[in-house]
Amino acid sequence: MKNLWISIRMTVVTTVILGLGYPLVVTGLAQILFPGRANGQLIEREGKIVGSRIIGQPFSSPRYFHPRPSAAGAGYDPLSSGGSNLAPTNHLLVERVEETVKELKKENPGEPVPVDLVTTSGSGLDPDITPAAAEFQVRRVARARGISEADVRRLVAAHTRQRDFGVLGEPRVNVLELNLDLDFTYPHR
């Protein structure tokens, strides 16, 4: 009986410490040291939250750069984060990729389609595309906005982040930040 009470007390104590205390301390430290990151790196424009730097969003208008496809729920659903889990030989994946490539080839005939424009990320919420994927879309965006390709390329270059510390990750472009800058720099006429 004595061992039962000891185990019950240990369960209660460790639950309070590890289930309540530790998360509260870590959350408090995050709020003090990294408040922007702890709150989701939200982007605000004119007093309204328009998105997050770390969660992809759908853009379908030709006036905007498009992100990677999403397999998260109905698409870009942060509550259903995850990839499609389809094997590279799965006919559903092959058909979806082939259909997407065919659509993108209409946009830039003869140009190779960057792989990140036809494949989903592991989370389905990737906010970034490669510089090659951004370059592939420059012509469409410039035409839809009535501006020069050189102007659009300058914005892409300004939003291209290089590898962290020169070695970690790959060069990338945040789609939401780029599209917001497009709207700010070249508003709808």
Do 97 and 89 meet the contact criterion of CB atoms below 8 Å apart? no
Domains of the chain, by residue range, sit at 1-39, 41-185
Q: What is the CA radius of gyration of the chain?
A: 22
Task: Concatenate the DSSP letters of all residues of 3-45 into one string.
Answer: HHHHHHHHHHHHIIIIIIIHHHHHHHHHHHH-HHHHTT-EEEE
* pLDDT-flagged residues of the chain (< 70): 73-74, 189
pLDDT at residue 189 in the model: 62
End-to-end CA distance of the chain: 79
This prediction's pTM: 0.79
pLDDT at residue 50 in the model: 85
How would you class 38 by CB atoms within 10 Å of its CB: exposed for 0-12, middle for 13-18, buried for 19 or more?
middle
Q: What is the pLDDT of residues 121-171, one digit of tens each?
A: 878 788 999 999 999 999 999 999 999 999 999 999 999 999 999 889 899
pLDDT at residue 9 in the model: 94
Neighbours of 159 (CB within 10 A): 21
pLDDT at residue 123 in the model: 80
Hunting for tokens 């006036």 — which residue is that?
63
Q: How far is Cα 144 from Cα 138, in angstroms, rounded to an integer?
A: 10
pLDDT at residue 75 in the model: 72
Q: How far is Cα 119 from Cα 153, in angstroms, rounded to an integer?
A: 24
**Partners of residue 101 on adjacent β-strands:** none
pLDDT at residue 28 in the model: 92
